Amino acid sequence: MASIARQSSPLLRSAFRAPFATKNVAQVVAFHASARKQILPPLPQTIQGTMNDPAPIPKSHPTEGSYHWTFERLVSASLVPLCIAPFAAGSMSPVMDAVICSAIVVHSHIGFHASITDYFPTRRVPKTHTFMIWLLRAFTLSTAVGLYEFETNDVGVTEALRRVWNA
């Protein structure tokens, strides 16, 4: 484009230069050159051992690993038929509601626990990790109590969904 502007008339050259005028460029550069403000400073980076040491293998735990993964998948897969069965069968049973609510609470707890483990690792932020785990436990307990109260003192989850669907 610049070679075309040099060979063409002065009017065309000024049209090519207009978007890149000195005043506009100075404003854009000043905006981009402003200080970068981070929300939180990066955590200290440490290396245990030497650079050539292999990565440490964590100790095995019975509630983690393949059993934990299998349990997560079973709970997740069980939610599909559990959520369809009451509406397909046409029966709104308190036992079915209790099973659905229990599976939802367990599924949610496992998912949020995995998120906390990923985003707040113990080795980097141990106090925050502990606080978040206790906060998760409190929310899980309050959710379970709330769903229990809804099941025993109100119409229940499946009946409430049926009513909303037919409204």
- Binding positions for heme b are 107
- Binding positions for a ubiquinone are 119
Question: Can you give the chain as a three-state secondary structure string?
Answer: CHHHHHHCCHHHHHHHHHHHCHHHHHHHHHHHCCCCCCCCCCCCCCCCCCCCCCCCCCCCCCCCCHHHHHHHHHHHHHHHHHHHHHHHHCCCCHHHHHHHHHHHHHHHHHHHHHHHHHHCCCCCCHHHHHHHHHHHHHHHHHHHHHHHHHHHHCCCHHHHHHHHHHC
- Binding positions are 107, 119
CATH topology classification for 93-166: 3 helical TM bundles of succinate and fumarate reductases (1.20.1300)
Q: Out of 17-21, 43-47, 48-52, 54-58, which region has the weakest mean confidence (pLDDT)?
A: 17-21
148 pLDDT band, cuts 50/70/90, is very high
137-147 pLDDT per residue, tens: 999 999 999 99
pLDDT of amino acid 31: 55
65-112 pLDDT per residue, tens: 778 888 899 999 999 999 888 888 777 788 889 999 999 999 999 999
5 pLDDT band, cuts 50/70/90, is very low
Question: Domain locations in the chain?
Answer: 93-166
pLDDT of amino acid 152: 92
